[in-house]
């Protein structure tokens, strides 16, 4: 529990966050007009009705319902555990970057280190059904950004989000770390397979949610999550996205609140490149390396370090099958036609390339070159 607020003050904040039909924008209007939540709840319905519809004013003036009281008490109990924090708009630890968006969360529940919500951050988002190449790009970009002092923010989803968190964690304790914004209550990991990843993020960064404890993975929760992802960051990188994608919502929200939008281009034949290409046509900055992003944003938050020759990986040897494939996903018969190899020899070589992580077999049976 924040040391700067009493249990009574925090209870009022929690109640305000739980009020039906009172979203962040309405709450901010009330806070600006009437003061802190305790002062809001001390008002009569007639005073509240100057700022709210009459029915909503009566709702706020009434005693707290029993089920809401139970939820508040659960949250206060949750906040007593180690590494559990509740940050309200009045808390000095509340991330300053979120104060610049039109509807900042009334409060944030954080598992891990609240300090990771401050400082220079970049969001990395993309498709849940990402290709192996897209996941590797997300991992590599996030690793580079985190190793140069940037916080990497993402949404804990399958595909690109998970790869971005993993890449940031790979940068180690000296890196910028990672923040996962959740579309569920802070006590519910979604998807469940990311439970171990979530524990690693909490240990070396932060998990954050504005949703009440126990909130499930409902469709309407994820646009709310996306605005926090965009608001925490100075820029948003979209790695892979279909034309209709939640990642494009994050990019749009980022643009609306003055953040930079970056996109990695891909094959004109890939459905997961079309969202990125649409963003580029709309003015997003095309990037090929993580350095393109840091150059655009003014360099690394860390002091510059001399490049190490040992850190540069030697070039991979050329391979005729890879040369025949190019970088577009191809079916086996197309690779055979390009390479001229008999089918048995080609399949053997593709297995060897898969084992070397230079080729991946996609769910639809095509092969994708990775390196």
* CATH code of residue 142: 3.40.50.450
What pairing do the DSSP bridges indicate for beta strands 260-263 and 285-286? parallel
292 and 238, same structural domain? yes
Domain boundary among the residues 273, 301, 329 is at 301
Element (H, E) at 123: strand 121-125
Domain closes at, from 112, 133, 153:
112
The reply to whether 158 and 258 lie within a common domain is yes
pLDDT, tens digit, 9 for 90 and up, residues 304-314: 444 333 333 45
Quick one: 105 and 32 in the same domain? yes
| Residue 84 resides in a domain | yes
Strand partners, 180: 154, 207
Lowest-confidence pick of 242-246, 252-256, 283-287: 242-246
Same domain, residue pair 126 and 273: yes
What confidence category does residue 169 fall into, taking pLDDT thresholds of 50, 70 and 90? Answer: very high
CATH number at residue 341: 1.10.10.10
Query: In which band, very low, low, confident or very high, does the pLDDT at 365 lie, cut at 50, 70 and 90?
Result: confident
Q: Domain check: are 105 and 131 in the same one?
A: no
Range of the domain at 357: 320-369
Query: How much is the CA Rg of the chain, to the nearest whole Å?
Result: 24
Q: How many domains does the chain have?
A: 3
User: Does 157 reside within a domain?
Assistant: yes
Let me know if residue 149 belongs to a domain: yes
**Same domain (yes/no): 146, 68:** no
Q: Could you check whether the bond before residue 191 is cis, i.e. omega within 30 degrees of 0?
A: yes
Which of 92-106, 129-143, 148-162, 332-346 shows the lowest per-residue confidence on average (mean pLDDT)?
Answer: 332-346
Q: 254 and 329: one domain?
A: no
Cα torsion 252, 253, 258, 264: sign: negative
Q: How many CB atoms lie within 10 A of CB 147?
A: 20
Residues 15-59: tens digit of each pLDDT: 999 999 999 999 999 999 999 999 999 999 999 999 999 999 999
Confidence of residue 10 (pLDDT cuts 50, 70, 90): very high
Give per-residue pLDDT as tens, 236-249. Answer: 999 999 988 889 99
126 lies in the same domain as 107: no
Write down the pTM of the prediction: 0.84
């Amino acid at each position: 529990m924040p040391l700067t607020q009493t249990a009574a003050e925090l209870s009022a904040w929690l109640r305000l966050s739980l009020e039906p039909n009172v979203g962040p924008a309405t709450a901010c209007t009330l806070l600006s007009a009437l003061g802190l939540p305790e002062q809001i709840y001390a008002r009569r319905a007639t005073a509240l009705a100057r700022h709210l519809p009459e029915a909503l004013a009566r709702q706020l003036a009434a005693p707290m319902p029993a089920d809401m009281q139970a939820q508040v008490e659960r949250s206060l109990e949750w906040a007593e555990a180690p590494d559990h924090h509740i940050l309200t708009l009045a808390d000095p630890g509340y991330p300053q970057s979120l104060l610049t968006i039109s509807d900042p969360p009334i409060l944030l529940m954080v598992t891990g280190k609240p300090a990771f919500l401050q400082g220079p951050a970049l969001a990395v988002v993309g498709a849940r059904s990402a290709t192996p190449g897209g996941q590797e790009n997300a991992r590599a970009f996030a690793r580079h950004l985190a190793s140069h002092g940037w916080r990497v923010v993402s949404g804990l989803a399958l595909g690109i989000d998970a790869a971005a968190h993993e890449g940031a964690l790979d940068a180690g304790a000296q890196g910028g770390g990672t923040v996962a914004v959740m579309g569920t209550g802070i006590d519910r990991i979604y998807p469940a397979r990311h439970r171990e990843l979530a524990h690693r993020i909490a240990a070396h960064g932060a998990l954050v949610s504005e949703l009440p404890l126990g909130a499930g993975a409902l469709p309407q929760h994820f646009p709310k999550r996306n605005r926090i992802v965009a608001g925490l960051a100075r820029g948003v990188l979209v790695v892979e996205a279909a034309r209709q994608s939640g990642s494009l919502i994050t990019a749009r929200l980022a643009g609306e609140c003055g953040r930079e939008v970056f996109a990695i281009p891909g094959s004109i034949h890939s459905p997961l490149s079309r969202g990125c290409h649409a963003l580029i046509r709309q003015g997003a900055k095309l990037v090929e390396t993580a350095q393109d992003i840091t150059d655009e944003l003014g360099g690394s938050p860390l002091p510059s370090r001399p490049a190490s020759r040992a850190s540069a990986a030697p070039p991979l040897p050329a391979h005729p099958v890879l040369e025949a494939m190019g970088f577009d996903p191809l079916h086996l018969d197309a690779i055979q036609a390009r390479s001229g190899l008999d089918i048995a020899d080609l399949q053997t070589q593709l297995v060897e390339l898969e084992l070397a992580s230079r080729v991946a077999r996609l769910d639809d049976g095509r092969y994708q070159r990775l390196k």
